[in-house]
Structure 1
Amino acid sequence: MKNDKFDIKQQFNNISSKYDEQRKKLIPCFEDLYATATALAVTKNDSPTVLDLGAGTGLLSSFILQKYPKSKLTLIDLSEGMLEIAKTRFSVHSNIKYFASDYMQFEYSEKFDLVISSLSIHHLTDNEKQELFQKLYSIMNPGSIFINVDQVLGTTEYLDNLYKADWLNYIHNSGLDQTEISSAIERTKLDRMSTLDQQLQWLTDAGFSDADCIYKYNNFVVMFARKMD
């Protein structure tokens, strides 16, 4: 897995300057994913502490910041290049901390009202996902919410192949050039996807309540879980 994480860091460093521009062309349901995740981010605190795992360029955090302008954000990502884009995006905001780090190994010193992640956790192994969910539960405040925008494995080989074929058809007709398409396909070799049902059970096992899939388009999903008051 160490080599995988090095590869993830390198590949996302390489794509960082074009990542946001390409994302709509790589995700068929882009608008729905991010709109759903933002709508689910409900907190009683008007200046919530927010942890963004695998924050990348800070795209999902930007939607949260629009909703809660007083948010105190912590962005963690392996890729320094991606975080540099985030720093530019949030240059006028002072309540943001950036860590170029592995969020599995990071030493968390505070608790959070909202934990978000976008297209990152699917790079973890099954065991790492379970470990992460347990860790998140321990660093979240009572009443806090976890929102995971991610990709999941099809429950059968037939469905998984169907999802992949649909995605390939989409990106080949998206306007991306062949180099960009090849790069995107190459990055899928880093995926370690698990099924949706597995992950919802792991969230429940970690102590979360109301673990559910709120949105699904093929293998693109928005998962939700809550730490009870």
Structure 2
Amino acid sequence: MSDFKNDLAELVIKQGIVGIKPEGITLKSKKISHWYANCRILSQSMSSLNDVSHLIAGIVTDLVKDQEVDMIMGVPEGATLLSQIINEQLIIAGIIPDKIYQKRAKAKEHGDQANKFWVTGQCPKKIWLFEDVTTSGISTFEYIRKLESEDPEIEIVGVIALINRLQLDKNGVSVVENMEKIGKKYFPLLTVNEVLPNAISLLPESEQEEWKKVINQEYIDEWGENSPVSLG
């Protein structure tokens, strides 16, 4: 991994974003998992937002330059604050134009139509979406469809995700495949393989091997022999 990615992976663990949940959690896909990724912790202080946004901006600079996008737009609500600070970092570095875009949660039915979908009256032409955690990508897929129906002139390059859980939807399709089906790029900054081993290493030594087996089995149950996760 690059220095930026190594530092990002360490920050994710230091902030307690990734860890084991003995009682299990229900994912949006309705599946039960015994590990969590709670990126909302990053939005609880300016110092956390600044630290992580600096690292993310360093990783995605080339992506943003190559595609000549106007902004990185957070998928609401979890990624909204973080994406705003990432954009600020990119503006300061001269990577994207110094313009502020703010998407409305609900279309404005009165007043100037230029403000119907965008609070500042400015509409970006080309964007990367930013998601904090992706499981199978279905909710992100739905948000892309919503955006494209509201603003058909906006070009959505694809999705940048802070953490990819490397899981499948109910049809056995991964987030990468779901994005490919609609012609969108997908770029995860980190995957379960890059963060969970370090989180498990913080557990009592007597528990570590058992939790590795539990998590490995979760992915075997889902992927079969093609499981992308093998915690040694």
TM-score class, shorter-chain normalisation, is 0.3 to 0.5
When normalised by structure 1's length, the TM-score is 0.38
> Who wins on radius of gyration, i.e. which is larger?
2
Q: 1 or 2 for the larger relative contact order (CA 8 Å, sep ≥6)?
A: 1
